Amino acid sequence: MEEDRSTRCDDREDKVVLKKGPWSPQEDQKLLSYIHQHGYGSWASLPSKAGLKRCGKSCRLRWTNYLRPDIRRGKFNLQEEDTIIQLHALLGNRWSAIAAHLPKRTGNEIKNYWNTHLKKKLIQMGIDPMTHKPKNHPLGCAQPKDFANLCHMAQWESARLEAESRLVRRQSAAPPLPPPQYFDVLKAWENSTTGGTLNSFFADSNGSSSLQSPTSTLSFSNNNLAQTAALPTAFGPIGGNLGGHDQVIRGIMDISVETQDEDNVDPIIIESLGFPSFIADVAPPPPPPPPCDVVAGGWWGSVVEEDDEVVVNYWGSTLNDVAFSNRRL
């Protein structure tokens, strides 16, 4: 492939001197009118065609973070804050994945907001913004396997979302991206809260599953299903108290309905939870945890014994929030 060398941002001897720094209104106008007429098929060749002395990378950034018409600027509302915090707990610093659940917000904007506002907010609440655990939480040393499974699902879906959006971008460069596909787990969740049943999501225990997004080539293998099916069992300790999965799920549904007031996240919930390390699969493995005296079931078991509703409430709220944000896309 022949590269238009003048469009690279790297320093080169044969380069055209490229402008850096803030964009002028004239440059914005040039970029906008070019994209309006031709779309943005190739960022590498766009600057020269549009008459801009910028590298393609800079043009792409300007477009995606500022000029795109579907960007909402201004303060984040409580619902958005809530969603960001909870998605960060699930996905870590994967801003683009988080942005996929926040319509009209860019990853860069969310990243900035996290670094300048939300991080401090959590710290003030006594929560470690990276692990989402209360600092010095006595139970913070164990991570339940089932939580890891749920986390794994979230990450898996996130990766799928990214792959699909990449595919779509390649298939049609100029037209705006379609709304991201549902987090399948959340889709089932949402379905269940609006008349469907979550049981149908878990119904097929034979290993086949209808969980497949229209564009995804991924399907649930037996192994994947085993992990997926861990969701109901993730509530096993509670199920033991409540008497089976159905009841557990119904309980979760009820709570999720109660948490429809998405502006209301009780900090006590977060504090009492001692969030598990959701990002454990993404980040390098943490140092071995110090020995701790928790009952069988570790973090989960302990918290459940003390306050099982709080745990369910958190997940109800988290999943509900993501589903809510998807509904608005």
Partner DNA sequence: AATTGACCCAACCGCCAGTTG
Partner DNA sequence: GCAACTGGCGGTTGGGTCAAT
**Residue from 72, 145, 166, 328 that binds DNA (CB under 7 A)?**
166
Q: Residue 63: how many CA atoms within 13 Å on its side-chain side?
A: 23
DSSP string, 61-84: HHIIIII-TT---S---HHHHHHH
- The answer to whether 304 and 238 are in contact (CB under 8 A) is yes
Tell me the per-residue interface mask from 115 to 134 with DNA, x by CB under 7 A, - otherwise: xxx-----------------
60 lies in the site for DNA, by CB under 7 A: yes
The whole-angstrom separation of Cα 321 and Cα 132 is 17
Could you tell me how many residues of this chain bind DNA (CB under 7 A)?
A: 44
C-alpha angle 104/107/108, rounded to 5°?
110
Contact segment (CB under 7 A) with DNA among 58-66, 139-147, 180-188, 321-329 equals 58-66
- Supply 29's token pair: 């106008």
Nearer to DNA, 119 or 250 (CB): 119
In the complex, minimum distance from the CB of residue 279 to DNA, in angstroms, rounded to a whole number: 10
Residue 96 interacting with DNA (CB under 7 A): yes
Nearer of residues 113 and 299 to DNA, judged by Cβ: 113
* Among positions 31, 34, 35, 44, the unique one binding DNA when judged by CB under 7 A: 44
Sign of CA dihedral 242, 246, 247, 248: positive
66 touches DNA by CB under 7 A: yes
10 exposed, middle or buried (CB, 10 Å; 0-12, 13-18, 19+)? exposed
User: In this structure, what token pair is assigned to residue 204?
Assistant: 């097929």
- Which of 7, 83, 143, 317 contacts DNA by CB under 7 A? 7
When asked if residue 206 is in the footprint of DNA (CB under 7 A), the reply is no
134 DSSP β-pair partners: 127
Q: Considering only 15-23, 210-218, 299-307, 310-318, which stretch makes contact with DNA by CB under 7 A?
A: 15-23
Q: Which residues bind DNA (CB under 7 A)?
A: 1, 3-5, 7-9, 19-23, 42-44, 56-58, 60-62, 64-66, 73, 93-97, 107-109, 111-113, 115-117, 162, 165-166, 169-170
